[in-house]
Chains A and B, each alone.
Chain A
């Protein structure tokens, strides 16, 4: 996993609440056998609509999604996170995330930044008035920033310490466990010889 310190990219205002994982990626797109390529299924039902935000050229290259509350509810499919990442998103900003989605995001390296509902509103307004404007999510200082001058938006976001540490270090679960490699090797050395194996030297 790539370490995540700070990211600045085009913000996408998704003015919807309760975006469940079926809307993020419908079940028919789950037949793939890879962890990549799910971008074509991202928000599939909505992308058929020309006026949908990602269909507008200014937002098409978005990397920071700003969504309404209760983002990622429903089925626990990890594909929802992969689809967002495969499309190019590095961070999702919302006033509230479903627990499983937040957990899956942290594991895959997608930043789920929880902010006050008012901040979401201001970001939406800003991004709609200035299509293609960027948003910065700074994980080190736990702040989101957008705009300049008197209209500038700057506020803090919530993320638990453990997930923040993992993202900053670029550690996934496997990476953390491999950090205990010496313990694993020591355990392996003590396993009795009669334990079964599927392959024999």
Chain B
């Protein structure tokens, strides 16, 4: 029997396997940030250990760095301590760090791919659940806890039980104006937030193949939101074209050797998955969440559901609670929901393609009165690229705030937060209670919906906009 993509990559990284024990996996790339690494480094220090492979380790500052005044000392003491600690640890243990102010600084999951460090067939880990993003390149990539961070630092390996594999096949083509974000939100509403538990998921099918690398990253990014261990997509010409020429991409004979190997990284025709899901992209529409987990979503054209729409008692209660927290009435058309803040950014939708799309829609429009629009590039490179293309002018002319790079309002660890009961339309990945600020109410949306919502002040898609001139 053949092997799935996930099995191929897994098997290539087994350092040691023994009956009844988890596999010992070699880790090709370990990404680090300021929040989940301090105790791991301290653990090394207490035990007198070293970082085994600094050359396979990369650190950035992203989770709680400010997106304004980034050239001044960080005002929040806890954030400052974490950032300072990362800098000290990186220096002491010889780890490459891109600190605030550096041209390569940014969200760890944006920086890896843009440096060309994320490549097909790798194992990539980080103390962050959205590490699944890197699976878009055909890598096995997943988030780990702080003791595992320490384990990888010391040994460059992890003990892991082999997960099951699942295929999500998406047939057809996404209609005009419907994005990878809508696709994955639709999928999560379909499976529920626990549907992927215990699986490495491979996204495949024509609709997936048609996605850009940015779109694929958006899909893989949100794998964790339906419980999957990791999400991956087989590498193809789109992948190779994206990597070629990136700073850390192989060159010359190395490129040829790499390419030859990468082309073998696809699921064999006779391989079997433990589970399969099939979806049709051609029926998908802009999709938005109404509740407090990413599975609580509906098409933009639908209305807020009622607890009575659900059969399961648990779902009824969850719906009731979510509606109360979100301050929503069942039956309200989603398009009537007024939004205070629109956030374009995060490792889900903070790449250059996302900003181009937002600018294209905002061009010539202005942000609605009473609504603020925050545009936060995923990395300094993305910010510079956007400025080179004049996107910043479009944002500023529309009345948006054009910020520095980082996680920002995705999780509100820095000053970019929602006030209690403030409502946002956000291109990020989590709408949990309080995620974007205590009491804040989050609707997860795609980039086009975010941009159109900023212009109209209510949840909208570009189709709702009055043509200019």
Residues of A whose CB lies within 8 Å of any CB of B are 1, 31, 33-36, 78, 107, 172-174, 177-178, 180, 183-184, 187-188, 191-200
Interchain CB contact under 8 A, B15 and A180: yes
Determine whether the beta carbon of B54 is less than 8 Å from that of A173: no
A177 partner residues in chain B, CB cutoff 8 A: 24, 151, 154-155, 157, 159
Could you tell me the distance between the alpha carbons of A173 and B158 in the complex, rounded to whole angstroms? 10
Binding site for A on B (CB under 8 A): 15-16, 24, 26, 28-29, 38-39, 42-43, 46-47, 49, 54-58, 78, 81-82, 85, 96, 116-117, 119, 122, 146-147, 150-151, 154-157, 159, 248-250, 254-255, 257-258, 261
- Smallest Cβ-Cβ distance to A172: which chain B residue: B47
* Closest Cβ–Cβ distance, residue B277 to chain A (whole Å): 30
In the assembled complex, the Cα of A187 lies from the Cα of B11 at a distance in Å of: 12
Asked whether B257 lies within 8 Å of A34 as measured between CB atoms, the reply is: no
Q: Say whether A192 contacts B257, CB under 8 Å.
A: yes
Query: Can you spell out 23 A-B residue pairs with CB atoms less than 8 angstroms apart?
Result: A31-B78, A33-B82, A34-B38, A78-B147, A173-B147, A174-B150, A174-B151, A177-B24, A183-B16, A184-B24, A184-B156, A192-B257, A193-B254, A194-B257, A195-B28, A196-B29, A196-B122, A196-B250, A198-B56, A198-B57, A198-B58, A198-B96, A199-B54
B264 to chain A, nearest CB (A): 13
The chain A residue with its CB closest to the CB of B254 is A194
Top 6 nearest A-B pairs (CB, nearest first) are A33-B38, A194-B254, A194-B250, A199-B55, A194-B258, A33-B85
Q: A183-B15, A192-B257 are known; give 13 further A-B pairs, CB within 8 A.
A: A172-B47, A174-B150, A180-B16, A180-B24, A184-B15, A184-B156, A187-B15, A196-B28, A196-B250, A198-B55, A198-B57, A198-B96, A200-B55
Q: Which residue of chain B lies nearest to A180 when distances are taken between CB atoms in the complex? A: B16
* Inter-chain CB contacts under 8 Å: number: 94
- The answer for the CA separation of A31 and B117 in the assembled complex, in Å, is 31
Chain A neighbourhood of B248, CB < 8 A: 196-198
A33 to B276 CA separation, bound complex (whole angstroms) = 43
In the complex, chain B residues whose CB is within 8 Å of the CB of A184 = 15, 24, 26, 155-157
B146 touches A198 (CB 8 A): no
- Point out the residue from A107, A174, A187, A195 that lies within 8 Å of B154, measured CB to CB: A174
B155 touches A178 (CB 8 A): yes
Q: Which residues of B contact A173 (CB under 8 A)?
A: 147, 151, 159
> For A200, what are the chain B residues with a Cβ–Cβ distance below 8 Å?
55
> Chain B nearest CB: distance from A4 CB in Å?
16
Q: How far is the CA of A196 from the CA of B29 in the complex (A)?
A: 8
CB distance from B443 to the nearest CB of A (A): 28
Please tell me which one of the listed residues A174, A191, A195, A199 contacts residue B96 in the complex, with CB atoms under 8 A apart: A199
- Complex: how many Å from CA A191 to CA B146? 26
Distance between B348 CB and nearest chain A CB, rounded to angstroms: 24
- What is the bound-complex CA distance between A140 and B147, given in angstroms? 27
B147 engages A107 (CB within 8 Å)? yes
Assembly CA distance A192 to B264 (angstroms): 15
Q: In the complex, which residues of chain B have a beta carbon less than 8 angstroms from the beta carbon of A192?
A: 257-258, 261
Min CB distance B379 to A, Å, is 16
Report B-chain residues with C-beta under 8 Å of the C-beta of A34.
38-39, 42
- Docked-complex contact B46 and A36, CB < 8 angstroms: yes
- Whole-angstrom CA separation of A35 from B147 in the bound complex: 11
Q: Please give, as numbers and ranges, the residues of chain A lying within 8 Å of B24 by CB-CB distance.
A: 177, 180, 183-184
B157 to chain A, nearest CB (A): 6
CA A180 – CA B78 in complex, angstroms? 38
Known pairs A192-B257, A193-B254, A199-B54; A174 contacts B82 (CB<8 A): no
A191 CB contacts on chain B under 8 angstroms:
26
Closest to B18 in A: A180
Q: Compute how far the CA of A188 lies from the CA of B55 in the bound complex, rounded to whole angstroms.
A: 13
A33–B83 Cα gap in the complex (Å)?
A: 10
Q: How far is the CA of A35 from the CA of B55 in the complex (A)?
A: 25
Bound Cα distance A180, B117 (Å): 27
Chain A nearest Cβ from B158, distance in angstroms: 9
**Least Cβ–Cβ distance between A86 and chain B, in angstroms:** 11
User: Is there an interface contact between B55 and A197, defined as CB atoms closer than 8 Å?
Assistant: yes
How far apart are B93's CB and chain A's nearest CB, in angstroms? 12
**B47 & A174 in contact (Cβ 8 Å cutoff):** yes
Question: How many Å lie between the Cα of A35 and that of B56 in the bound state?
Answer: 25
Shortest C-beta distance, A63 to chain B (Å), equals 19
Residue of B nearest to A108 (CB): B147
Given known A-B contacts A174-B155, A177-B151, A199-B55, A35 and B39 have beta carbons under 8 A apart = yes
Q: How far is the CA of A33 from the CA of B77 in the complex (A)?
A: 12
Q: Which of B43, B56, B147 makes the CB contact (< 8 A) with A197?
A: B56
Bound: A36/B147 CA distance, A? 14
Q: How far is the CA of A36 from the CA of B39 in the complex (A)?
A: 9
Best-surrounded residue of A33, A34, A196 (most CB of chain B within 10 A): A196
Contact of A174 among B49, B57, B122, B258 (CB under 8 A): B49
Q: Say yes or no: A196 contacts B116, CB within 8 Å.
A: yes
- Closest-CB distance, A187 to chain B (whole angstroms): 5
Which residues on the A side are within 8 Å of B47 (C-beta)? 1, 172, 174
Closest residue of B by beta carbon distance from A181: B155
A95 to B329, CA, bound (A): 48
